[in-house]
Every structure is written in C-alpha cells, then in structure tokens.
Amino acid sequence: MKKLSIITVSWNVKILLIDFLKSIFSNLADINFEVIVVDNASKDGSVEAIKHEYQNEIAGSRLKILAEKENHGFSKGNNLGWQASSGEYVWFLNPDMRFLEDSAEKMLNFMKAQENVGAVGCRLIYADETIQPSVKNFPKVWDQSLILLKLHHVFKTKSLKRYLAKGFDYNRQAEVEQLMGACILIKRDVFEKIGGWDEDYWLSWEDVDLCEKLKSAGLKNIYTPITSIIHFEGKSFEQVPSLSKQKRFNKGMRTYFKKHESFLSYSILLILSPFSLFLAWLTQIFKVKQRTQSKI
C-alpha cells in the first residue's frame, strides 16, 4: 500500500500538467507515493505527452494515467482516480499547480499530528507569490443572491465578507469551514466514510459539499501555512464560455442548497438563476473579463 496518492483531473492543460508532474517528481523524495492523472478526454495531446515524458515513472508504478473517452467532470473524475489509487492518504490537487518544495512530507507530518481531522489545505500562492484566498465560510442565501446578480462587485455587505472570509489570516493555522477543492488532503478511510465526492456536482460546489459533509460528521477542516504551492487557478475552466460556466455554477449552487439548506433558500436562488444567466450572456457578448471569487 502506498503512503500517499496524489490525484489530479486534467482537461486540455498539457503544458501545465507536464510542469505540475515535473515539480512533484523533483520535490518528493522520501515518501512512498503515486500520482494518478485522470484525463477527461483532452484534445491537446496531454495523454501522449505524459506517456512520452514520464516513461520511467509509469514503468516504476509511480504514475498512472486514466485516459477517459469522455469528460466526466471534476467529482466523478476524482472518484475514478481514488478508485484506482492505493494510498493511505489521498491528496486531490488541480493540474495547474506547481510544487516549490517537498510539500507532501510536510503536509503528511502535519496531518498525523492532528486529532479528529477531516481535510487539510495548505497556503496557495499565485505565480507572483502573493497569497491566493482559498478559505471561505459556508454559503447563505443572501450572499449567493448578491453573487448571482453580480452585485458582489459593487456591494461589500457583511454577509458577503463573512462568506468570503475577508480578513482571514493566511499566515496562521486555523480550523475553517470551507477549503478550496484545488488542494484537499484527506485520509483514505475518512474519504470512504463520507462517500467520496458527490457526483451530483459535475463541476463547481463539490468542494463546498465535501467540506460540509466532513463537518457534519464531526470532523475538522484545517488550513495550514506550513507549506506553499503555486496555483495558476482556473486554467481548464477559463476555456469555457461565460454562459456555460454560469449554468454549471448555478446548477451546483442549487444542488447544494437543496441538499443542505432550507427549501425557501433553494427557491429564492432558483428564481434568481435566470437573471444570472442573462447577465452572463451579456458578459459573453461584450467579452467582459470575469474575475474569480478569490480576486473579489
């Protein structure tokens, strides 16, 4: 059995994926680990490039490639990777990451020292080494209403600041409600206990659901600044048109609120969804560059 399985789901990010794998194999030294790449039917030659670049790692069973014939989305892709893995610990990472040091050893040592832990996330930084906000609180209907109507760019309400965890100190360790799905370390038996990633989410909101399930199970989600990883953020998702992204976001939001919040909250967001789609359509028509929530 491996000590650690690193799982990444990739879609048309060949260069970033190759660099991501290079940074892993260059920095992880003393851990018995494996990397599993789930390729969601990329058309950019990702699978062929990985097989060419990492023949030795594949032969040595340190790298597995699941070349899927269709795009399964994030949740199912990660679950497929998990099913093919054997690590005692599983680290779900986006392919637009880059290791700067042996972050895996630091994260595993940190996690072993914690009690009653669900998931752990580390400090994420942009390419210019500034901190990327990666912690949030669980959503409520009022902050999500503002986001659907794009009013979060104008009104910085108390509810919105609470949701986005404005003022969170990324230089200190803390128990948090929500970790970004781009970087989640979890113990294998815990992941199995909560049923893995919920495949009702194709892309967007699956990380909120996962953290909610862990917290509901009485486990802690912990952020630690013990190590930093570069995250280029959203390189697969930015290939998708604004309207399509908004549809997926809205569907994930509605699914989450239907599962975890009141019927009234779900109904309000259901009513507001068409307005958000219209605004996204305008954004697409006029080619307005969108900002991720971490940059609000």
Distance between alpha carbon 164 and the CA centroid of its chain, in Å? 16
Mean pLDDT across 22-37: 92
Name the DSSP letter for residue 15.
H
Q: Interhelix angle for 242-260 vs 263-285, to 10°?
A: 170
pLDDT band at 69 (very low <50, low <70, confident <90, very high): very high
Residues 39, 16: Cα–Cα separation, whole Å? 13
Torsion of CA 246, 248, 250, 251, to 10 degrees: 160
For residue 131, the 8-state DSSP code is: B
Pairing of strands 89-93, 4-10: parallel
The residue-averaged pLDDT of 245-262 equals 94
Who wins on pLDDT, 82 or 154? 82
Q: What percent of the chain has pLDDT over 70?
A: 93
- Per-residue model confidence as pLDDT tens digits over 183-231: 999 999 999 999 999 999 998 999 999 999 999 999 999 999 999 999 9
Residue holding tokens 């902050």? Answer: 143
DSSP three-state, residue 84: coil
Phi, psi of 145, rounded to the nearest 5 degrees: -65, -40
Q: Average the pLDDT over 254-272 and give the result.
A: 96
Which pLDDT score, from 0 to 100, does residue 292 have? 57
Residue 46's pLDDT is what?
Answer: 93
Element (H, E) at 257: helix 242-260
Contact 31, 99 (CB under 8 A): no
Give whole-number Cα distances, 226 to 5, 121, 285, in Å: 20, 10, 43
Q: Which CATH superfamily is domain 1-134+170-235 in?
A: Spore Coat Polysaccharide Biosynthesis Protein SpsA; Chain A (3.90.550.10)
Residue bearing the bigger pLDDT, 152 or 232: 232
pLDDT, mean of residues 144-161: 88
Q: What is the DSSP letter of 151?
A: G
What is the 3-class SS of 8-38, one letter each residue? EEECCCHHHHHHHHHHHHHHCCCCCEEEEEE
Q: Where in the chain is the domain with CATH 3.90.550.10?
A: 1-134+170-235
Could you give phi then psi for residue 235, rounded to 5 degrees? -70, -30
70-74, 273-277, 286-290: the lowest-pLDDT one? 286-290
pLDDT tens, residue by residue, 104-127: 999 999 999 998 999 999 999 999
- In this prediction, residue 293 carries a pLDDT of 59
What is the rounded average pLDDT of the residues 245-268? 94
At 156, is the pLDDT very low, low, confident or very high (cuts 50, 70, 90)? confident
What mean pLDDT is reported for the chain?
91
pLDDT at 287: 64
Specify which residues 128 forms β-bridges with: none
Which uninterrupted H or E stretch holds 162?
A: helix 158-163
| Average pLDDT of the segment spanning 36-63 | 93
pLDDT at residue number 291:
58
pLDDT at 31: 87
**Nearest CA to 207 among 92, 130, 129, 296?**
92
